[in-house]
Amino acid sequence: MSTQSRRERARADRERAIVAAARDLALTEGWEAVTTRRLAAEIEYSQPVLYSHFKGKDAIMAAVAVEGFAELATALVSARASAADPRQAVADVAAAYVAFAQERPAIYDAMFTLAVDLPFASQDVPTDLARGFAELSETVRPVAAGDDLETVTETFWAGLHGLVTLMRSGRLRRADHDRRLAVLVQRFSP
Amino acid sequence: MSTQSRRERARADRERAIVAAARDLALTEGWEAVTTRRLAAEIEYSQPVLYSHFKGKDAIMAAVAVEGFAELATALVSARASAADPRQAVADVAAAYVAFAQERPAIYDAMFTLAVDLPFASQDVPTDLARGFAELSETVRPVAAGDDLETVTETFWAGLHGLVTLMRSGRLRRADHDRRLAVLVQRFSP
DNA sequence: TCCAATTCCTAGCGTTGCTAGATTTAAAAG
DNA sequence: CTTTTAAATCTAGCAACGCTAGGAATTGGA
């Protein structure tokens, strides 16, 4: 009984180590540097061990993404909480969203561009993703007016996502970023 | 002299065949099906021939993307031209943009998500890309007001891009798409 | 008809994600 | 404490990827 629980604990530790290694590698060198061989070396086990924890590389990336949802949600919550008024809240939350994406581009990609085997628009959305979305919702609620709140939230989100991805891939000049963000925020401000 | 020009013509034909094969394969089976071996088989030459035309697979994808810019620009031009008034123009151009992305997802990815070795925010932007961007600019000009036109255009573009990419990767429910687009259009309408 | 130059292909390198089968390790039974 | 059995882990390898070196074949001009 106790030996079994000890083993389970060790397994859980190793699983966390895999996700942490993937996250660190992706952050420092990008996802193309995150190979199964490299991950195995990092946790000091052989390659097949990874597959006893995760179905494949995509599942590992999904696990990193889920961690990212928690971080993003926390960042959005604190941004909105410290805003002086609803108008400032939109600007601050937008800034926090963009800052997260720019500081952790690899994590952001795993969350919103790469891994597709995560439940999004369905019932069993990861809790922290729902938390982040709810925070966006509350932020734009004052401007929803006649429109459906969820729809407005998704559209605002899409605007942020578009700005972030187009800029990071070099499609938009970085210099003008703040002005673009201001335009978007203004269009979604009370 | 004539034999040389004949050879040059044959080479140009083969180059076009490569891009066409890549485009067709990407459209029907996605970019992951576009391998250099598959492309070589398609044009009935061996693999290394590809590298006498293009620096690598990325360059082939970039060539497909450039073709896409032309198509998109044409679609946007005709959408704006047939619009009854400036307000309708915004809606029609937005709809045309989204329709293009949804009907040719692989091409759209090559244009705006994958290939990065294309000049975007610089002087030597592909002509057709500039054409498409100019069309977007003219469409949103009535709402630019005090803001810089280029900035507003880029922000509107980002909104469209965000909607398209988030929906295509399953992050947004497809059913509510029209309503989200309407919200965006309304925010950028005169 | 022979030579030279260009064009093209065969073969292979290093890397990827992933897996089958042997091997070691550890727990349970005697 | 030894033996047996089961679980955990590793070694080795597969198929596919992008890409390239070096030799074979084709072509045009002398």
Q: Which nucleotides of C are covered by protein (CB under 7 A)?
A: 7-12, 15-21, 26-28
Interface residues, strand D, Cβ cutoff 7 Å:
A 7, 11, 45-49, 52; B 3, 34-38, 47-48, 51, 56-58
| pLDDT for the residue B48 | 97
Q: CA B130, CA B118: separation in Å to the nearest integer?
A: 13
Work out if A35's Cβ lies within 7 angstroms of strand C: yes
| pLDDT for the residue B15 | 97
| pLDDT for the residue B153 | 97
In the block, residue with structure tokens 């939350």: A93
How does DSSP classify residue B73? H
Which of the four pLDDT bands, split at 50, 70 and 90, describes residue B190? confident
| pLDDT for the residue B9 | 86
Q: CA B175, CA A20: separation in Å to the nearest integer?
A: 36
pLDDT tens track, chain A, 190 positions: 466 677 888 899 999 999 999 999 999 999 999 999 999 999 999 999 999 999 999 999 999 999 999 999 999 999 999 999 999 999 999 999 999 999 999 999 999 998 777 777 777 788 999 999 999 999 999 998 889 999 999 999 999 999 999 999 889 999 999 999 999 999 998 8
Q: Taking Cα atoms as reference points, which of A82, A80, A78 lies closest to residue A141?
A: A80
Measured CA distances, B105 to A108, A121, A132, B111 (Å): 21, 20, 28, 10
| pLDDT for the residue A145 | 80
Residue A74 CB burial class (10 angstroms; 0-12, 13-18, ≥19):
middle
Q: At what angle do helices A149-168 and A127-144 cross, to 10 degrees?
A: 110
Neighbours of A147 (CB within 10 A): 17
For the segment B19-66, what is each residue's pLDDT rounded down to a tens digit?
999 999 999 999 999 999 999 999 999 999 999 999 999 999 999 999
Neighbours of A14 (CB within 10 A): 16
**Which protein residue has its CA closest to C1' of D16?**
B35
Q: CA A155, CA A188: separation in Å to the nearest integer?
A: 10
**B64, B23 contact by CB (below 8 A):** yes
The share of chain B scoring above pLDDT 70, in percent, equals: 97
For the segment B63-80, what is each residue's pLDDT rounded down to a tens digit?
999 999 999 999 999 999
Q: CA A26, CA A40: separation in Å to the nearest integer?
A: 15
Residues 6+ apart with CB under 8 A from A85: none
In the block, residue with structure tokens 């990212």: A68
Which of the four pLDDT bands, split at 50, 70 and 90, describes residue B7? confident
Q: Which residue is closest to A172 within chain B, CA to CA? A: B121
Q: Which residue is closest to A158 within chain B, CA to CA? A: B162
Q: Taking Cα atoms as reference points, which of A132, A123, A145, A155 lies closest to residue A190?
A: A145
Q: Which residue is closest to B173 within chain A, CA to CA? A: A121
**Which protein residue has its CA closest to C1' of D28?**
B3
For the segment B76-119, what is each residue's pLDDT rounded down to a tens digit?
999 999 999 999 999 999 999 999 999 999 999 999 998 777 87
Determine, for residues A120 and B172 on separate chains, whether the beta-carbon distance falls below 8 Å: yes
Nearest nucleotide (C1') to the CA of residue B60?
Answer: D18
